[in-house]
Structure 1
Amino acid sequence: MNFIEIFKSAIQCLSGNKLRSLLTMLGIIIGISSVIAMSAIGQGGQKKITGSLAKSGFGVYEISVDTDHENYRSSYALNSGDVALLKDNDNLEAISPRMFQRVDYKNTNNKNLRGGLFGTSPGFEVIDELTYIMGRPILENEFLEKTHVIVIDHITANKIFPDKNPLGEKISIDFRGLNKIENFTIVGVFQHPDAAMNELGISRFIPALGRISLPLMERITETDEYSSILVKASDTSMSQVMLTDIMTELENKNVTDIYEYEEQVSRGSSFNEILSTLNVFVTFVASISLLVGGIGVMNIMLVSVTERIKEIGIRKAIGAKNRDILFQFLTEAIVLSISGGAIGIFMGFLAAEIFGIVSGITPIFSVNVMTISVVISTLIGLIFGVYPANQAARMNPIDALRNE
């Protein structure tokens, strides 16, 4: 008896008991669909959460120089040459040098508001995106032309201009360490990143913050040395690869162990790992239902063997060998499992998409998970179908024919 005949016979037997076959497959369908749906929703939810974290610094790293290192030389300071060296990294989404100065913002009563001033490039807006309450960010031509324009945080704007629109107003900034006072025109007001802490009373001192163009900061400070270089990975999963390449490039140029990096959200990576572990755990729990489905396949196949004892006896009496009986029942179990797996994959897709529409999470389907699901459903039929098939194959034909 060849494989095609065995397969046709298995299909006929299963078609003769459609309801029982469907109920047998139900466990496999639920198991596979649960694994597919939970995995897709888990990965989609993880990407959504890490994507939100990315806006506040997750996946963003600050490269700096350890000026206290015994081998430090002023020639090792970060500059435009280092930016040009690093910007061709394949895993880099954005790179931006940054200069920082501690300054005093002067209000209308000439009262000083202490804080910090950043000199940034257009790429910094990609890495550290601001939420503008009014106005706009610094334009590219304003960066190039070193225009005296500035964007400040809303808390500082309210303190300096409590009763008027700050846009277009002049603001004086005292560069304390340089003994310089510069005037700037306000073109934008952004939400202070620590505003929530201020409103809740968690932090008493909220420093004033502002940004001007990097070329203008270089001219004011009379230096082209950057405080740090910020880099953002195009994919957070490739962050470590990106960092390794960047640190290697810098150390090959100068000296080892003098450059440092720090993630802008230090707990971001740990949180991402927790989400990954949780996703794996939830998927594993969902896969337990596959075991239940496999036991259901074995149970129904044992019932089928009991019901078809006479058929087995007749087939053996006319020349069917043990392996023919074994392969037929094994094929029936595998067909049940694979059919249930195929329906389960479809139901998993459907369930994940529906949940995604309701929850706003875009499910991410993994080819590996689907492949593993198909393999598992086949193995379930093979493993849980062996015992019933073996019981049928070892049956004595005379005893089978005498069975009532």
Structure 2
Amino acid sequence: MNLRAVIKNAYQALRQNTRRSILTMLGIVIGIASVITILSLGRGFETYTVKNLTATNEKNVAVDVVFSPSDYEQFESNKMRYFSDEDLKFIGQIEGVEKVAYVKADDKFLRIDLQAADKKISKNLGFVAGDKDAIEVGRTISRDDIETHQKVAIISRDTAKDVNPDVNKVLGTGVDIKGELYQIVGIYKGGTANLFDMTPDVKIPKTTYQYYANSEGNPTQIKVTIANDYKPSKVAQKVIKKLEKVGISRNFGEYSTFDMSSLTDGIGKVLKMLTFFISGIAGISLFIAGVGVMNMMYTSVSERVKEIGVRRSVGAKRRDIRNQFLVEGLMLTMSAGVIGYIIGYLVELVISIFLPFKVSPDLFTISLTLVITIAIGLVFSITPANMAARKDLVEILR
């Protein structure tokens, strides 16, 4: 029996029990629609989150490279430089580097390492610009502090907890910034504590930082802009290796990098695993629907014993009978899979209207739909099909 005839017979057999076929398909439709909706929305949210985390005012992603000297006193006289023009020249020759420039002291944020409880924590350093911060404990930085280059600092509540779980004991203590000890005079609430918040963790007077850190004429940080189609983390590793070989200050400290992509890589993986986990829970309904397919196929085999006997008596082989029932199962599940995919896609489009991101079908979800429906059709139809093929002709004719 050729494939065309098998498909035609399978269609006629399913059509004879239309109501039962539709009810059996319903479970698969719901399961596929749920999985597709969750996967598409999850992948859309993952893309949206990563895009917002890496968003900058520049067209390309930028990586900050920081030099931390082992002894700050060596650099205080300005006779030793953290980075040189030659360093920038070598970095600019690295594949994937669009441009490189010094980070000036008037930049909005700098990255610093703070010593807290026998460990270093990386925080954003900002400068007081005359605005009034919402101080929770202590006081704000005054105009006199700014004009007289006082070594005072205010820190966010989250940073204070990193330094000491009892934030009330942090006030009046010192925090080391670029080798200088700044006294903490106030604790402010900080940002909204979400992934997109870039509020400074530590604020100090800009004039004090420039006076003691010599950052205006001797930047401790450079910004490397990454070219399109290059992974920032890999280019940053090349930059660090280059500086460790030819950097002017390579023997007097350590080079380190900070780029948002290193954070977003981890966040993307977590979101992806969470999406797959939730989809797996929704996919349990597919297993239940598969049991329904098997039950229908067993019933179909029992009801069509005479048909099997007639076909065997006119020359049909066991594999012909097996293939007949397998094709029926596959036709049932694949039809349900296509309908489920369409419904899932329409549902996700409606939901995305109320979300800040859009979803669209991709090759992964289409392939997943195809694989799942074929797997359900094969796994839950093979046993009933084998049972039909093993029917003894003599027993049937009795």
Fold match (TM-score > 0.5): yes
Q: Cα gap change, 1:160/1:298 in structure 2, threshold over 3 Å: closer, same or farther? A: closer
Q: Is the CA contact 1:32–1:287 (under 8 Å) kept in the aligned structure 2?
A: yes
Residue identity opposite 1:97 in structure 2: Y
CA distance in 2, matches of 1:308, 1:240: 63
Residue identity opposite 1:357 in structure 2: I
CA distance in 1, matches of 2:293, 2:369: 16
Q: TM-score, normalised by structure 1?
A: 0.63
2:65 match: secondary structure: strand
Aligned counterpart in structure 1 of residue 190 of structure 2, from 189, 193, 197: 197
Residue identity opposite 1:397 in structure 2: L
Q: Deviations over 1:133-187 (max 9, x none)?
A: xxxxxxxxxxxxxxxxx9946438xx9999xxxxxxxxx967789xxxxxxxxxx
Residue of structure 2 in register with 1:190 after alignment: none
Q: Is the CA contact 1:64–1:260 (under 8 Å) kept in the aligned structure 2?
A: yes
Alignment of 1:140-179 (within 5 A): 152=129, 154-155=131-132
Residue of structure 1 in register with 2:239 after alignment: 246
How big is the shift at 1:6?
A: 1.0
* Residue 89 of structure 2 corresponds to residue 77 of structure 1: no
Residue of structure 1 in register with 2:280 after alignment: 284
Q: Is the CA contact 1:56–1:265 (under 8 Å) kept in the aligned structure 2?
A: no
Taking only aligned residues, the RMSD between alpha carbons, in angstroms, comes to 4.6
Q: Deviations over 1:205-227 (max 9, x none)?
A: 9736779xxxxx9xxx7976422
CA distance in 1, matches of 2:55, 2:132: 21
Q: Cα gap change, 1:380/1:87 in structure 2, threshold over 3 Å: closer, same or farther? A: farther
How big is the shift at 1:243?
A: 2.6
Q: Cα gap change, 1:305/1:369 in structure 2, threshold over 3 Å: closer, same or farther? A: same
Residue of structure 2 in register with 1:34 after alignment: 34
2:239 match: secondary structure: helix
Aligned counterpart in structure 2 of residue 329 of structure 1, from 299, 304, 325: 325
Residue identity opposite 2:239 in structure 1: I
CA distance in 2, matches of 1:91, 1:37: 37
Alignment of 1:246-325 (within 5 A): 246-254=239-247, 258-263=254-259, 270-325=266-321
Residue of structure 2 in register with 1:183 after alignment: none
CA distance in 1, matches of 2:263, 2:215: 36
Alignment of 1:68-107 (within 5 A): 68=70, 77-83=82-88, 85-86=90-91, 97-99=102-104
2:132 match: secondary structure: helix
2:219 match: secondary structure: coil
Alignment of 1:5-24 (within 5 A): 5-24=5-24
How big is the shift at 1:381?
A: 0.7
Residue of structure 1 in register with 2:45 after alignment: 45
Q: Cα gap change, 1:176/1:236 in structure 2, threshold over 3 Å: closer, same or farther? A: farther
Q: Deviations over 1:65-105 (max 9, x none)?
A: 231189x9987732455445546777678865313xxxxxx
Residue of structure 1 in register with 2:162 after alignment: none
Residue identity opposite 1:317 in structure 2: S
1:316 match: secondary structure: helix
Q: TM-score, normalised by structure 2?
A: 0.64
1:363 match: secondary structure: coil
Q: Cα gap change, 1:209/1:46 in structure 2, threshold over 3 Å: closer, same or farther? A: farther
Q: Is the CA contact 2:232–2:261 (under 8 Å) kept in the aligned structure 1?
A: no
Q: Deviations over 1:350-393 (max 9, x none)?
A: 12111111233433654224313311211211111101111111
Residue of structure 2 in register with 1:188 after alignment: none
Residue identity opposite 2:69 in structure 1: T
CA distance in 2, matches of 1:31, 1:49: 27
Structure 1 residues without counterparts, runs of 5 or longer: 100-117, 129-149, 163-171, 178-193, 212-216
CA distance in 1, matches of 2:16, 2:364: 35
Residue of structure 2 in register with 1:65 after alignment: 67
Q: Is the CA contact 2:87–2:246 (under 8 Å) kept in the aligned structure 1?
A: no
CA distance in 2, matches of 1:280, 1:237: 27
Structure 2 residues without counterparts, runs of 5 or longer: 112-126, 134-139, 152-186, 194-198
How big is the shift at 1:252?
A: 4.2
CA distance in 1, matches of 2:20, 2:97: 56
